[in-house]
Chain A
Amino acid sequence: EPEVTQTPSHQVTQMGQEVILRCVPISNHLYFYWYRQILGQKVEFLVSFYNNEISEKSEIFDDQFSVERPDGSNFTLKIRSTKLEDSAMYFCASSTPLGQGTGGAAKNIQYFGAGTRLSVL
């Protein structure tokens, strides 16, 4: 069964360093997302990406964050200068285009990767 793959599973970095989190979405999906989950808290949306551009982003996704689809398979999240509060689990997700399958316009099921645990020291 196709799945979203994230690497690395755990990333440790020093405050102020740049990190790049990598994701390989499901191959026929066109929408890509990043979410984060601070330990013990709920999952929070960061950004969505479609047709090689950001389609929406949350208040969390400030200038320190950027996303890129450098080739046909990878989707990356870059944090330019990490802060202690960036420590969290980061999830990549992907979904099928609207209109496929049944269930109405809201049925855009996002499939998540296993996450990258980012620890900023």
Chain B
Amino acid sequence: AQKITQTQPGMFVQEKEAVTLDCTYDTSDPSYGLFWYKQPSSGEMIFLIYQGSYDQQNATEGRYSLNFQKARKSANLVISASQLGDSAMYFCAMRVVNSGYALNFGKGTSLLVTP
């Protein structure tokens, strides 16, 4: 069975600092993708970054990077130079290729960026 675990219900970070949001996953399938989404208080789900299981390098998108450790089955999101607008819920999700297109989400981490 596929499982996504986000162990940090809430995190605080000061503006301009970096923060790491944890995500571990469990699958026995070798082909899968890992996704991070941001959900601000307004409710929409915003795609941030993707990492494929066969990707050799860690994904980066602007201030977002993914610390992908395949052997540990972890895909932590790193946000550099935090901004007040980064305050939101962050969800890690996984798609296993052989299991269809459904995204399986974690419970999320609430990030609060303080001045």
Report whether chain A binds chain B. yes
- Chain A residues at the B interface, C-beta cutoff of 8 Å: 31, 33, 35, 41-45, 48, 55-56, 58, 89, 91, 93, 95, 103-115, 117
Show 9 residue pairs from A and B whose CB-CB distance is below 8 angstroms, ordered by the A residue: A33-B102, A42-B91, A48-B100, A48-B101, A55-B101, A106-B33, A106-B97, A110-B101, A111-B47
Contact with A along B82-115 (1 / 0, CB 8 A): 0000000001010111001111111110000000
When chains A and B are docked, how far (Å) is the Cα of A98 from the Cα of B68? 23
- Chain B residues at the A interface, C-beta cutoff of 8 Å: 31-33, 35, 37, 42-47, 50, 52-55, 91, 93, 95-97, 100-108
When chains A and B are docked, how far (Å) is the Cα of A44 from the Cα of B107? 10
* Contact between chains at A114 and B33 (CB < 8 Å): no
* Contact between chains at B108 and A42 (CB < 8 Å): yes
* Contact between chains at A89 and B91 (CB < 8 Å): no
Residue numbers in B under 8 Å from A114 (CB-CB): 42-44
* Contact between chains at A43 and B33 (CB < 8 Å): no
Interchain Cβ contacts within 8 Å, total number: 79
Instruction: Identify B43's interface contact among A44, A55, A109, A117, CB under 8 A.
Output: A117
Residue numbers in B under 8 Å from A48 (CB-CB): 100-102
* Contact between chains at A91 and B105 (CB < 8 Å): no
When chains A and B are docked, how far (Å) is the Cα of A104 from the Cα of B96? 12
The 5 closest A-B pairs by CB, nearest first: A106-B33, A112-B45, A45-B102, A114-B44, A104-B52
Least CB separation from A56: chain B residue? B100
When chains A and B are docked, how far (Å) is the Cα of A62 from the Cα of B105? 20
When chains A and B are docked, how far (Å) is the Cα of A105 from the Cα of B104? 16
* Contact between chains at B35 and A112 (CB < 8 Å): no
* Contact between chains at A112 and B55 (CB < 8 Å): no
* Contact between chains at A107 and B105 (CB < 8 Å): no
Instruction: Identify A44's interface contact among B32, B44, B50, B105, CB under 8 A.
Output: B105
When chains A and B are docked, how far (Å) is the Cα of A103 from the Cα of B96? 14
* Contact between chains at A108 and B101 (CB < 8 Å): yes
Residue numbers in B under 8 Å from A42 (CB-CB): 91, 105-108
